Structure 1
């Protein structure tokens, strides 16, 4: 989330477009008896009012700023926990604090507004020169619920902006559309042709069980390849239009079972290759099972494509109290240093590889999946040690 002056002013405008905000601020004032409530955009160096209800002539309007160092919002931002004061002059922690003394206030509430992606937007806050019983759980709970509602509405407005920008930029959207169509038209033709050919062979060999099984395996491989291409294209298209990788995280006690399934499927598709696996995952994880399987599949597919045919590909996974670490290793020609920074870019393909590489979206989608889980994807590559992709994800991603 940007912190420049223009970006902050844009966020002020976004809050101004949320029709529910004035009503929320009015409700807060009426229920607590406090005379001033606001939605503020808070950064390390600034405090900017986005929406205000002022019944005590505090004198701050939307777009107005305070010295963030004179507010408690900076402390709330750092701790990501509410600060609630019933009567500052009698509060042992805050009676000598700069904020109550600077603004002559007794009651104070400040609750963080955290976006769905985990980024910090600002604070929902209220103040009054009179004491107020605001530390009651129902009052604090109401502030928290309202701050969550504001975050969701802000995310909706931001996505609407991104979609509108993409739609207005007709040339860019047209180029993206033509690029996707051209690549899909080329890359989908091969698996579909394979499916059509082997379907005809299947009809001709219907009385030969061994031949039927072999042909069916080829058909399954072609369907899997086509489905993967389509999934990658759709994920990329959503991201390019302002969306994001969709996650449906659930608690998974045995993530190793999900990964074993991937290994078995990849081994069936590549019977001539050795795929080794080792899992040490005693901890449950909170992740999107399908996306983790997609991550493992894409990394294994990349390793099988670029690794030495006579060397095994290895998938390992470990869990600790904090993280899930998934690694895929292969031996083979090292990735050039100048290419490492481009690996996760969309449509990027190695100029040194003579093999077909599909859309060039597999590793890009991997990076997006890991990022959506709040994790990090890294790669090292050398002739001596081989190529190693490491995905580190918080064990409880959401």
Structure 2
């Protein structure tokens, strides 16, 4: 039995944090007639049961171990391929294999659980002392679907751990603003709860559909579960990327003219498709993290391309000017002793309401106007964090029905 001080204990715990894992094992047993199903952590040296559904008294509990050399999962780890056995006595490959005799099963199915990184985590497997009809596209498809779902969740949990670590490190370094802390609390209590709520609801519906032997309904619900898992995984990745975006990278002299030209080239297919007119004035050189400046202007221009006017000729204008001293004092509570540039990115789209101007910079923002539903809700949050990393500010100006302007203020080199 794996113990809390064992380095693999965390993997067992991770599987049991997945809200749908017990449902998956129940559905497998009910829909296939298999008496024992499990999610196993499999390494080169060990086989550990993480979660089990035991309806035949097999006797293995979560945390229980089997000798790795006595399992077929050991071979699956090496090959990366599924093993499906309807009747071991009639199977050319496994009729003489010691594992079925040792554990007393006639039918067996096991699929690899492979993480996004390509790392083999373990297997989703089921056994029964009776023969079964497992060589069925619907059964195998269900196992593939469930194995993918478990991999999605495991990847998401790993991302959540990295996000917590990054957020903790940022807070320890006093790099997280009160505003970001507010957003993190909102995300934890609201944004991330929605896909988890869907997973719980769809999982319950899946069990009910299986009880009624509604195979097509069960498959439809399994697809919805996978979609919710993907949504959850992407949100965690976005949050992890956002929390890791800091100002500790190497600064260099960056010509914003070149940055905007490069970004415009990247977006040229969308610009040409919509016949958007892009007007760019001379932009300054700043001392910045080059990759972050490219990301900043990519997000701003990509946003402008999406929402440039549809009725009028679509137009985007990028301009800049150096701010006067009194403007800097009015704009920044503690300005640096240097000059500042104001850069404006304007579109002639539908615009946004004044009440929404600050919300557009929140992570996973969704505006009631519908303007930003096409995006993932993180692009403008990245922009604000990048600008803050460079001791500047960003704000939105809106004229509903006529367009939106994003105004970036950045310090200029001495």
TM-score normalized with structure 2 length: 0.45
TM-score normalized with structure 1 length: 0.46
